[in-house]
């Protein structure tokens, strides 16, 4: 069911900025392995994946909003105090579910696609905030066919229920931090203020 009260833009830059040098230093300390094309490093995941002694959660009618499971920080996040502080900034205000570092190899693309549950207009869902950490001038994130001018350290809401794709035509990898969260009143208020 679609909520009608506010018409949000498909991209909203929030007034939050994070220390890129500290994030890069912690990522380097994690000694990330070489990869081909696309790599995902979970920082916060379903509890039974982080700790295999925890039983798999029972089936749910709806998996979209993240309430179907408990969520735990991974060992990689526990080793990263500044990245933890970034996530804490949001989880002090709302429920944070999935958190990941998304790496895209130089010269690679992510084909156009949609994520059906990642939009503020979708009832009972999460939204995803994106914080670019490492990029280059030839990384272009397209949303609804037009580039989103994200810079490192910035924090963006993107309506990922709409078509989006990524081109990394540069010579270095791109790394984004993505934070999924339940859009409570604080989240909606921040988006409304930044939506102008």
List of E strands, the chain:
11-17, 38-46, 71-73, 96-104, 109-113, 127-134, 139-143, 146-148, 154-158, 164-168, 174-181
Q: Which fold has domain 11-54+64-194?
A: Jelly Rolls (2.60.120)
- pLDDT tens digits for the chain (196 residues)? 444 567 899 999 999 999 999 999 999 999 999 899 999 999 999 999 999 999 999 998 888 889 999 999 999 999 999 999 999 999 999 999 999 999 999 999 999 999 999 999 998 899 999 999 999 999 999 999 999 999 999 999 999 999 999 999 999 999 999 999 999 999 999 999 999 7
Q: Please tell me the pTM assigned to this model.
A: 0.94
Q: Provide the CA 183 distance to its chain's centre, in angstroms.
A: 13
> What's the first-to-final CA gap in the chain, in angstroms?
25
Q: Domain boundaries in the chain?
A: 11-54+64-194
Sheet of 127-134, strands arranged across? 11-17, 154-158, 127-134, 174-181, 96-104, 38-46, 71-73
């Amino acid at each position: 069911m679609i909520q009608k009260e506010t018409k949000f833009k498909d991209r909203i830059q929030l007034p939050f900025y994070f220390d890129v040098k500290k994030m890069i230093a912690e990522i380097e300390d994690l000694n990330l392995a070489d990869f081909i094309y696309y790599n995902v490093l979970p920082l916060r995941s379903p509890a039974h994946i982080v700790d295999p002694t925890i039983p798999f959660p029972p089936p749910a009618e709806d998996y979209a909003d993240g309430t179907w499971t408990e969520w735990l920080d991974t060992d990689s996040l526990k080793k990263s105090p500044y990245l933890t502080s970034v996530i804490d900034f949001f989880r002090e205000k709302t429920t944070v579910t999935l958190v990941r570092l998304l790496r895209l190899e130089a010269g690679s693309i992510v084909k156009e696609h949609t994520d059906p549950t990642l939009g503020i207009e979708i009832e009972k869902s999460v939204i995803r905030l994106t914080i670019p950490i490492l990029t280059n001038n030839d990384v272009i994130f397209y949303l609804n066919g037009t580039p989103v001018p994200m810079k490192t350290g910035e924090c963006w809401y993107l309506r990922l229920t709409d078509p989006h794709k990524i081109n990394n035509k540069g010579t270095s990898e791109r790394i984004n931090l993505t934070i999924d969260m339940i859009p409570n009143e604080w989240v909606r208020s921040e988006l409304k203020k930044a939506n102008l």
